[in-house]
Structure 1
Amino acid sequence: MRILQAIFFFVGVLATNHAPAADVSWDGGAGSGSWQDADNWTDDALPAANQSAAIGDLPEGVGATVTLADETTAAGVELTAGAVVDTGSGRLILSEGVLASGEGSGLILRRFETPELAPSLDAASVTLIAGATLELENALARLATATPGTGSIGVVTLDAGTTLVATGGGVFRFDDDLEGNEATQLNNNGTLRVARPAGAPVEEVFTFLIESTDPGAVVNLTGDGGTGAIELEANTTLSIGVKSAPLTGPITLASGSVLSFAGEAINDGTIQGAGLVDAVGFVNNGLVRANGASPLVMGGPGTSFDLDGSTETGRLEALDGDLRIDVRLADNFGGEATIGANHQADFRFGWTLGGPATLNLNGAPGAPATLATSGIQSGATFFDGETIVRGTVNVAGEGQILGDATFFPSAEVHLADEDAQLALGGVVAIRQGAEFGGNGSVTLLAGGVTTLETGAAVSVPVVNAGTLHVDGAAFLEIYEQTSEGAFEITIGGVNTVDSLIVTGAALLDGQYGVTLTDGFVPSDGDVFAILLAGGGVGGEFSGVSAPLPTLPAGLDWAIDYTANEVLLSVFATGDPLDGDYNGDGVVNAADYTVWRDNEGSTTETAADGDGNGTVGPEDYDLWAANYGATTMSVAVPEPAGAAIVAACCLAAVRRRGGESHRQ
C-alpha cells in the first residue's frame, strides 16, 4: 500500500479549524498499535464517545500507526508528529472531526463492508495541514453535520497547493438536509487526483464518486479561487453526482479516463488530455484541448453541448492529439478551432462553423490536419455528419475536410502559401460568394463529389482526382484533372448548358460525363461549350464516366478540343470517315492514339482502316492522309473562343470584385 501526500480539508460549518480538545492521549503502552487495546491510552481507558483523542509526540520507539479493528466512536481525533490512523478492518465515527498536522501524519481509509459498503469515516469535518497525508483505498467517506436539518453542512475544502488523492476509487457522500437551499459542499482550490493502485491490472477501472443525498448540494471542482485542478490517471473515473459550479482551473484526463457529470458542466478553464468528458449538458467558455495518445471525446446523453460558450469565445484544440465530438451541438460554433499536423477533430453528428468563427488547419507536408464528420450509429439509425462553413478556414501546410461539406456565401478559405493545400472529400457544395484565396491549392479527393453551384468561384488552382460537377456556370483559376478524376455537366437546352470557365490553363485527363435534363433532346449540329480556358486547354479526357445519353436514331456525340475550349457536339452519322478511329466525327490526334495503342492487333480493329484484319502501317497512312477531316455536321463554328473565354473571365472577376457584402 502506498501513502500519498496531501494537504486536505473537510470543514463543517458547525466544526472549527482548531484541534479537538484532547480528553485521552495515546501512549502506546501496550505496543500493539491497536486502538481497541486500552493499555495504549493514558489511564488505560479507551476514548469514550464524547471524548477527543490525541495521538502524537510519542517517545522514541513507540509505534505511531494506530489501527482500528472494530467500529470506533469518539468526539474527535488530533494527529501530530507523524501519527497515522489506519481504519483497517474497522471504521471511525466522529461527532466532530479530525485534525492531522505535520509530515507523515494522516488517515488511511480502507474499504469497510458489513456486508454492504459502509463509511470508513463518518465525521462532520476533517482537516489535514502541514504535510499530513490521506490515503483513500476504495473507501466511503461520509461527511455530514451531527444534527441534520439544522441548515449546517459538512464541507470539504482544499486550499491552494494542497492535494486530495483517491487511490483505487472510493466515494465521498454528503448526507445533509439543506432545507431546499443550494450549498457548496466541496471547494477545491488545490488538486483533486484520481489514481490507480500500484500493480493494478491495466484493464481494471477505478471510480471515485462524489454524491449527496440532497439535490441542493453543489461541488466547486476548481475552487472559488479559480485555480483548482483535477487530474485523472489512466482508466479511472471521477463521477460527479451533484450539481457542479463552473470549472475554472485545469482538468487533465489520461487515456481511458472518464470525467462524468450527472448534470450540466460549464468549462471556464481548460480541459485537456485524452479520455471522455460525459455530461448531460456542456458549455465551453474556455478551452478544450486534445493532447493525449488516444482521442479526447466529448459525449453523453445530452444534446445541448455548446462548444463556443455563452459569448462565442470557446476554443477547441487538437494540436497534439485527436478530438472527437459524439453529441449534437446546441448551436453554430462561433469560437476558434485549431487542428495540428497528423491530428483530427471529428464532429460525428456534424457541425456549423458560424460566421464569426475560425477553423485553423495547421498541417505539414505529408502530415495533414484533418476535420472529419464520420457519422455515428444511434440505435438502429446511422447519422451522417456534415460540415457547414459560414466562417473562416485558414490552411497552413496540408489540411483536409473529410465528409460532406457546404461552403456558404459568407465562407472564406485562406491558403497561406504555395505549400498550403486543402483536400476535400465526401459530397461537397461550393456556393456563389464563398471565397477561396491565397497562394495554395485545393484538391478534390478520389471518391468525393464536389459541386460548383452557379456563380461559384475558386481563385486558387484546383486539382480534381474525384468528381467535379458544375451546376450552371462556375469559375476556377487553374484546373487540373488527374487520370482518376471526372468532370460532369448537365444540358437542358441549346442555351442551357453547364460550363466551367477557367481564367488560366486547364490540363485534362480522366473522364467526362453528360446528363440531359428538362426533357431536352439535342439535334444534329448542336454544339455545347462545356469548358473554356483563357490560358489554354492541354490534354484530353480519356473516356466517359458513364454511357452518354441516348440520341435519336442517326445522331451521335462528338467531343473536340480547341486551343481554349472543349466542345461537345451532336452529328448525323453516315459513311465512316477514313481515319476517324474513335468515331467522333473528327480525324485528329485522338485517332492516332487509337492506332498506336492497337498496332499489330487482329482483335482490337477499330483502327483497321483498310479492313485487312490487322492494324498496320497502311492504317496509319490512311489516318495521316485524312488528318483534320470532319463530318459536315461537326464542323466547328469559329466563335472566337479565346475572346469568349477572356470576356467570361473578365465578367467573373468583376462579379467577384463587386460582391464584398456577402450574406
Structure 2
Amino acid sequence: MTRSHLAFLSVVACCLPAGVVSADAGDSFFEAEVLSVGQTSVDDSFELPSEGFYPDLFLGVFDESGQLTQTDDDSSFLGDGFAPALFGVPINPGGEIDFSVTGAPDESLEGAHSQFGDYRTEVAIYDSEGEFLDFFEYDGYLEEGLVDSYFESDEGWDGGTYDVMVNNAFPNDVDFFRFVGLTPGQSFTVNTEPSPLDPFSSVDTYLGWFDETGSEIATNDDISSSPLNLYSRLSGVVPENGELVFGVSGYGDYAFDGYHGEQGEYSLVLSVGGDYDFDGDVDAQDYSAWRDAYGQTGQFLAADGNFDGVVDAADYTVWRDNYNGAAVDAGAVPEPGSAFLVIVVAVGLTRPCRTATV
C-alpha cells in the first residue's frame, strides 16, 4: 500500500479580487514563508510533502503477570481512523504500566501482521482520584511481523489509571507563515476558514501562534461557532517587531510536527483594522460596506470586524478606530488612518487516499 501526498498552496491578497498569489509554505517555524506587506503575486508553486504509509495498528495492555487484559483496534482520536487507544486502564501493582503496539489484525500480539511505518504513542497518568499526574510520549517505527513493547514504572502511580493513545498519521504537511510589517500594539484576529478555492472542504485544522524564538504563545483547535466545529481562531496584539508567525496543521498534531491525518483546502485569514472592502486601505468605502452589511449574521462576513458572527455597532468601532477615532458623516469623509492588511492563505493539508488490508 502506498499513499501519495500533494499540497497546493496559494496566497490571496485582498480576498481574491486583487489577484492570486502563491508560494511554498515552510514546514517549520524557522522555515516559515515570509509574506511581504503589500505582496500581490509570486510565481505559482506546489509543495510536495514526503510520501508515507500510515500503518493500521493494534494495541494491547498486560497485567502484572504478563497476561493480555485489554485490546483495541481503531478507537484513537488521533491519526487517520486506523489507530488504537485505551482509556482508564488500571496501573499494575508497584506503579507499572505494560503495553504493546502491533499491526492489525494481530489480536494475540504475536507479530502476525504485515503493517509497517511511523507512529507516536501518548500516555497520560492519573491517580486514584482521577487527578492528572504525568504525561509522556514515544516515537516508534513498527516493522512488519514485529511487536513494539513499552514498560514504565513509578511507585507514585500505584493505584492509579492511565490512558494510552496511538497516532499513526505521519509524515504529513504542516504550514508556517510569517506576516511582517504590521503595526506594533495593534490588535489582530487570525482564523482558518473554508477556502475560496474549495468552499466544500471540511479539513479539521489546528492553529498556533509563535513568538520570535519559536515558542508557542497560543493555540486553538476548533471555533465552537464554525462550520462542523473544524476551523480555528486566535486573537492577540502585534508584538514590537511587527511580525506574526502562525502554524497550521491537522487535528491532533499538537506539536506541529506532522502527526495528523487531515487533508483538504483551507484559508488562513489575518485581519487587522476595518478594511471591509479589502482594497488595502481604510476609507469611506469600508464604512459603506459596513453600513450595507449591517445586521447580517453568519460566518466569515466581510464586515464582521470582531468575528462574532454578526455585523453590528462593534464592527463600526473596529473601522472607526483605524481612522484614529474619526467618524464618517454625510458631509465629510476623513482621510485614511492606519493601513489594514488582509492576507488569505489557501492551503491544502494532505491526507492521502487509504486502501487497508487486514
TM-score by length of 1: 0.18
Structure with the higher strand share, 1 or 2: 1
* Bigger Rg over Cα: 1
TM-score by length of 2: 0.28
